Chains A and B, each alone.
Chain A
Amino acid sequence: MMGRQISTLRVIAILLAMAFLLAACPAAAPAGSEGMAADGEMAADEEMAEEGAMEDEEKVLTILYWQAASLPGPYLSGGTKDQDAGAITLEPLANYDPNGTILPRLAVEIPTIENGGVSEDLMSITWTLKEGLLWSDGSDVTADDVVFTWQYCSDESTGCTASEAFLGIESVEAIDDRTIKITFDSPTPYPYNAFVGANTPIISSVQFADCVGAAAQTCNEENTAPLGTGPYRIIDFKVNDVAVYERNPHYHGEPAYFDTVVFKGGGDAASAARAVLETGEADYAWNLQVEPDILRDMEAAGLGKVVSAFAGYVERVLVNQTNPHSDLGDDRSEYMDGDNPHPFLTFPPIPQAMSMAIDRTLISEQLYGFAGQPTCNVIPAPLHYVSESNDTCLTQDIDGANALLDENGVLDSDGDGIREYNGIPLKVSYQTSTNSVRQKTQALLRQWWLQIGIETELINHDASVFFGGDPNSPDTYQKFYTDLQMYTTGPTIDPQQHLSNWICEQIPMRDNSWGGGNIFRGCNAEFDALFEQLTQTPVGPEREALVKQLNDINVQNNYQIPLVYRGEVSAHLDTLQGVWINGWDSQMWNVGEWRR
């Protein structure tokens, strides 16, 4: 009997000891891995996050990203999450606002040709920093920091993920403490790529001095806690999990409202939406790729609002201008200097009728919800670049489409319900990536096209194959071995780079390993001439007119059939004020102005 009691006691003791050890773990660990924050402060923050806004307590802003940030900043890790985690503390010289207008941030004003900031020959731009700028540790911000940022990112061995923005820059020099001159290697009509927007903020030349080139890979402390000039500064960064910021006492603007910002990552989009719209645990949730109906139901709970940010992305159908017929073997979808045209899609009334038969409003409302608007343009934004001459496509017109085909002699001569053109039945193959919204769009289009006598074969490929670019795979969007295909891309704030894809030279073919961006394989001399003119034209009304013309040539030649202008959806609590969601810049671009 004695023995039994002892062994029971022993078991209880072991269990207690185990429980104790486990309980001690979370308490001990943060103390071990603690960053710069004092213990007491942090615990207080967390209670606040739980209890919501109460007087006299710390004001905490909780931001949820379902993809966790790997590093705060855009230079070593190219995700939006990383850029946005950086944008809370790092600042560029200027930002884009949600309309695509440039606003000065660290700079005094936006340099233009009129104010002499941009040289007449479009070869250089000169920025001036605001007076008295300080880093979050109190040290001075100088022109050298800007020069250093360029050196840091353009050093090949840094492996900088934002180096695209610095292409075409010959040199960046500090004229004096506050003046920076950027010289280009060729005339650059749009000189605002470098240091404008959250993808190219300024970093400290003192802090990162030993982190240039290959050494960037070893700068653990610097990479996870960069000094910033923004409204908040980083006090703790847990990789792929959470970043904590406090108010930056050295900020050049109005002091920020919140005492602490918590940037929490992980989980999934639906539960992030729920945490804001249904439980109110978080203030802001990013990129809610959730079925529109579910999102509407959540919003109906009344705690918060769903907001959308639009940049330039257009979901569209590309119309193959070359013949993709499988009998052609290796010559499928080869341009061959125009000798291999598509048998019927190059006859304008046919693709035009296909475009007329589409109900874009239905697609964007039912399938994209908050994240889509119907569009008839391939350049859908910024506003001053948008053409208005294609807007008739916004109304579906199946009768008109049928009449158009009848008038042009594209008739159903054998009575099988499918029209023929020069004896060839209008049967098209239509591919896209595997994705439920895309497959639903395909199904709708097939149904409408059947009503105008066109039969459609639907194909989908896994996104990693379709967009993968493997030159040995026949199923990539570059090879385009079907009549039609659908996906999204879009212009950056200046459309030149995007439009450059559609000149004749850019047609993908065997000889260039399918390397060009003119995926629809349309060659138009007028387009090429106007594009050449665009590369010489500085920002202004003339440039805007050119962009509209280029857009119209592309759309009116039926190279591409635009469907939906796509945005990103986020949500915030009703109590959170000052959110102005931005598609052109980081969604965190004005986080310093957020308040309750």
Chain B
Amino acid sequence: MGQYLVRRILTIIPTLIAISFVIFAVLDLAPGDPTSALPETIRPEIRQQIRKAMGLDEPFPVKYGLWMRQFFVNEPLSLIENAFDIQIGDSEERLRVTSWGSRGVPVMDMILERLPQTMWVVGLAYLVAIVIAVPVGVISAIRQYSVFDQVGTFFSLIGYSIPTFFTGLLMILLFSVKLKWFPMIYDTNLQIVDWDSFVQQLKQSAMPVAVLGFFQAATLARFTRSSMLDNIPMDYVRTATAKGFRERYVVIRHILRNSLIPVVTLIALGIPAIFSGAIITEQIFRVNGLGALLIGAIQLNDIPLVQTVTFIFAFLIVVFNLIADVVYGVLDPRIRYS
């Protein structure tokens, strides 16, 4: 196991380098120019000056090398400095990856500013989805073709066939415009200091969390159900029932435990999505999370920001793939890595 882990972690490094190169190259080759968002009245000479000031004129390898250095050396150093309030070397002169859209603002600071909102909204939605989906999936499987199963199947189908931008819009029209229960503008500056502001926070998160939670719960519930159905006819279940255990005990201790193995993998693989945010949902509800940050950066051709955010997503996906593999081995004693 230990050796396996080390080998897996070592293969991550070339994978990530390859990914960073592909991201960088694709964005470099892509048409589009950070000055294209500027008013049409600005003359070509001035556009050229702006491009030059952003370092856009450098050849590809130079830009790539600079970014690699900034991202893998300078940014971690700055993070450590900020976290422990110490100074390492000449930090004034150290170039950080800065945004083109908001010139002078380090990309990492922007990401760190956005992370909490995404974690709260998308993370909470994920949690809600799991809490709803697993029991629904289990009951649907043991009472297959019952009314509960039919209703559950119906809502699951609706859940994953209607896109979030549509459910989001419906929710805004119903709960903000008609009923006036929830605000439609997510307020980032809200600080939770007392009960009222906590309620306010819950109110403003309710709609995005519900939209995302519904979508994710639908998929997870279907997955749990089918995984349960795979296990129910197994011999070990019959043995357990024959031994005289109560049904609940058999379901929870035997069937669910084994059925959850693939579900847990699915959940682990979905965690990077929490960080990458839910681009459309964040946009609709004006939640300033990472998804909204990425969309805004793409619209403005803010390439350093797009590169960094995309690379961080790639990193998370690679890491959580590894974690999913490892967790699988821990949960299922039959699997042994060698």
Contact = CB atoms under 8 A, between A and B. Distances in A.
Contacts of B190: 26, 43, 46
Interface string A153-164: 000111111011
A536 B300 CA distance: 40
Chain A interface residue number, banded: 35 or more
Nearest to B43: A164
Contact of A239 (B46, B113, B196, B249): B113
A282 interface: yes
A116 interface: no
A179 to B, nearest CB: 29
Interface stretch (A64-72, A100-108, A369-377, A394-402): A64-72
A22 B188 contact: no
A58 B31 CA distance: 48
Nearest to A34: B191
Interface in B139-198: 172, 176-177, 180, 183-185, 187-194, 196-197
Contacts of B194: 43
A23 B296 CA distance: 26
A175 interface: no
Contacts of B193: 39-40, 43
A27 B53 contact: no
Given A240-B110, A278-B177, A279-B177, A71 B189 contact: no
Nearest to A45: B189
Interface residues of B, number: 70
B73 to A, nearest CB: 17
Interface stretch (B1-9, B118-126, B232-240, B320-328): B118-126
A238 interface: yes
Interface stretch (A264-272, A319-327, A336-344): A264-272
Contacts of B95: 218
B116 A26 contact: yes
Nearest to B106: A220
B102 A224 contact: yes
B114 to A, nearest CB: 8
Contact of A43 (B38, B50, B172, B191): B191
Contacts of B183: 50, 279, 281
Given A39-B193, A239-B105, A78 B123 contact: no
B127 interface: yes
Contact of A30 (B43, B191, B292): B191
A22 B103 CA distance: 31
Contacts of A23: 120
B192 A26 contact: yes
Contact of B185 (A33, A64, A160): A64
B284 interface: yes
A43 B188 contact: no
A440 to B, nearest CB: 23
B112 interface: yes
B32 to A, nearest CB: 8
Contact of A238 (B54, B99, B177, B288): B288
A379 B119 CA distance: 52
A467 B288 CA distance: 31
Contacts of B31: 464, 468
Nearest to B119: A25
A489 to B, nearest CB: 7
Contact of B184 (A30, A275, A467): A275
Contacts of A238: 113, 188-189, 288
A39 B190 CA distance: 10
A279 B172 CA distance: 10
Given A241-B288, A267-B283, A274-B172, A223 B49 contact: no
A119 interface: no
A195 B219 CA distance: 58
B54 to A, nearest CB: 6
B295 to A, nearest CB: 9
B69 interface: no
Nearest to B124: A22
A78 B102 CA distance: 10
Interface of B is mostly: helix
Interface string B251-288: 01100000000000000000000000000000111101
Interface in B13-58: 31, 35, 37-43, 46, 49-54
Choose among B49, B105, B172 the residue with the greatest number of A CB atoms under 10 Å from its CB: B105
Contact of B37 (A78, A164, A239): A78
A223 B104 contact: yes
A275 B185 contact: yes
Choose among A80, A219, A281 the residue with the greatest number of B CB atoms under 10 Å from its CB: A281
Given A22-B123, A68-B296, A240-B102, A161 B189 contact: no
B61 to A, nearest CB: 21
B307 interface: no
Contact of B187 (A46, A274, A489): A46
A70 B172 contact: no
Given A78-B37, A489-B40, A217 B293 contact: no
B105 A279 contact: no
B185 A159 contact: no
Contacts of A444: none
Given A78-B37, A242-B288, A266-B283, A214 B191 contact: no
B121 to A, nearest CB: 9
B191 A27 contact: yes
A222 B104 CA distance: 9
B288 A216 contact: no
A79 interface: yes
A519 to B, nearest CB: 13
A266 B287 CA distance: 8
B229 interface: no
B191 A217 contact: no
B201 interface: yes
A239 B38 contact: no
A281 B103 contact: no
Contact of A29 (B99, B105, B115, B252): B115
B224 interface: no
B53 A157 contact: yes
Given A159-B49, A266-B283, A76 B103 contact: yes
Contacts of A268: 283-284
Contact of B42 (A80, A161, A278): A161
A450 B194 CA distance: 69
Interface string A183-226: 00000000000000000000000000000001011111011100
A112 B189 CA distance: 46
Nearest to B122: A22
A31 interface: yes
B126 to A, nearest CB: 9
Contacts of B172: 271, 274
A457 interface: no
A159 B57 CA distance: 13
23 contacts: A4-B252, A19-B127, A27-B192, A29-B113, A42-B191, A43-B194, A76-B104, A78-B39, A159-B50, A216-B103, A217-B53, A218-B95, A220-B98, A239-B110, A240-B101, A240-B288, A240-B292, A242-B188, A266-B292, A271-B184, A271-B286, A274-B176, A274-B177
Query: What are the 3 tightest A-B residue pairs by CB atom distance, in nearest-first order?
Result: A159-B53, A29-B116, A78-B38
Interface of B: 31, 35, 37-43, 46, 49-54, 95, 98-99, 101-106, 109-110, 112-113, 115-117, 119-120, 123-124, 127, 131, 172, 176-177, 180, 183-185, 187-194, 196-197, 200-201, 249, 252-253, 283-286, 288, 292-293, 296-297, 300
Given A39-B191, A218-B95, A468-B31, 14 more contacts: A19-B127, A30-B188, A45-B189, A50-B183, A62-B185, A71-B102, A71-B105, A77-B101, A77-B102, A223-B102, A271-B284, A274-B172, A467-B40, A489-B40
